[in-house]
Structures are given as C-alpha cells and as structure tokens.
Amino acid sequence: MSATNFLGAARFGAVLIKLYLGKTIGVLLDMKINIADPKVKAAFNMFPPAVRNKLLRIRKLIFDVASKTEGVGELEEALRWGQPSYLTPKSKSGSTVRIGLEKKTEGDYAVYFKCQTTLVATFKELYPDKFRYEKNRALLFSVKDKIPVRELSHCIAMALTYHLNKKKQKKQRQKKK
C-alpha cells in the first residue's frame, strides 16, 4: 500500500470511527501535518476539532509568511505558556507569536503577541474593523469566522520582523541627526 493510499485509508477509518462513536476522536486527523515537537503536537491534539482545524491553518500561514518575509530566517516551533509558539531564535528578527484557545468565550481562539510591544496597537490602527482585539495582546476569532488571510498575514509578518524593523528605525533616526 502506498503512503498516499495509507493516509487516505487512515482518514477514512477516522471518519468511520467518528460516525460510529458519534463524537470526534482526539487525534490529528490530517496525518500529513509534521509537528516535530511532541509537546506542541500534544497541545494541538487537546484543542476541540473545529478550533484545531482553524489553528492548524494559522500555523501553516505563520510558516508560509516566515518563509516569504525577508530577514526572518528559520522559524522555531515550541510550547510557551502551554500554547504553540513561533519564534525567530537565529535571526532574532521578531517577537513571539502564539496561538491557542481564547479562554473567555467557548469556541473562540486567538493569535497572541507580546503585550510589551506596539504590535496590537498598530494592528488596531491598520485594521480597526477586521479583527476583534483583546487589549494589547491578541487578535480574537470565532470558529464561525472566515480567517482574513491577507490582513492576518500582514500582522504575522510585522510580528516576525518586529525587532528587525525597530533596529532599522533606530538607524534611520541616527542618520537624521
């Protein structure tokens, strides 16, 4: 049996189990997803299935944005504060981006940013009506929401280059003096 046929059979089997048990099983149904860190993989497995699917889409978006954004370099995926987190340890270009459940409202999830940065304030200026915000630390989503990919990609790119851009701004100010 080829790997593709095996994956298809595994998905079909998981769907049959779901139908038989009348509930969703707590495993990553998409076996193509490669999460190296077992703690991060376990965190994804703990999310309710609908939230997990949305967060996996955002995870893919984070990696896609990182690969296309100049200066970011290699992205590290780790567990921070119990949530999947994305860091730029080699380039030190950006601020940590975390994803996870929003604890106040069931079915909501969030993309978190360091609250000591100006990132969320900047997002509010750029996209006042595109996102729901939690103070200066997160973009909030409902499972029912369509992810605004273009705008979220821009926000992720800004986070992953936050320190790089601060250094550039500092150099520009020094040149003006």
**What is the residue-level pLDDT of the chain in tens, covering all 177 positions?**
444 444 444 444 443 334 334 444 444 444 457 899 999 999 999 999 999 999 999 999 999 999 999 999 999 999 999 999 999 999 888 999 999 999 888 889 999 999 999 999 999 999 999 999 999 999 999 999 899 999 999 999 999 999 876 655 555 555 566
Q: Do 98 and 127 belong to one domain? A: yes
Q: Do 48 and 130 belong to one domain? A: yes
Q: Do 28 and 59 belong to one domain? A: no
Would you state the pLDDT for residue 25? Answer: 42
Would you state the pLDDT for residue 169? Answer: 59
How many alpha carbons fall within 13 Å on the CB side of residue 69? 26
Q: Do 27 and 41 belong to one domain? A: no
Angle at 54 between CA 48 and CA 101, to 5 degrees: 50
Q: Do 49 and 116 belong to one domain? A: yes
**Total of domains in the chain:** 2
Q: Do 162 and 80 belong to one domain? A: yes
Q: What's the CATH number where 119 sits? A: 3.90.1150.200
Q: Do 131 and 151 belong to one domain? A: yes
Residues 6+ apart with CB under 8 A from 76: 86, 87, 88, 89
Q: Do 87 and 11 belong to one domain? A: no
Query: If DSSP codes are grouped into helix, strand and coil, which group holds residue 91?
Result: coil
Q: Do 42 and 25 belong to one domain? A: no
Helix (H) / strand (E) element for 167: namely: helix 162-176
Q: Do 18 and 41 belong to one domain? A: no
Specify which residues 100 forms β-bridges with.
110
> Could you list the residue range(s) of the whole structural domain that residue 20 is in?
1-32
Alpha helices in 22-116 (DSSP H): 38-46, 49-68
Would you state the pLDDT for residue 10? Answer: 43
Q: Do 16 and 85 belong to one domain? A: no
Residues 6+ apart with CB under 8 A from 47: 55, 100, 101, 109
How many alpha carbons fall within 13 Å on the CB side of residue 82? 6
- Distance CA(130)–CA(70), nearest Å, equals 25
Would you state the pLDDT for residue 135? Answer: 92
Q: Do 91 and 124 belong to one domain? A: yes
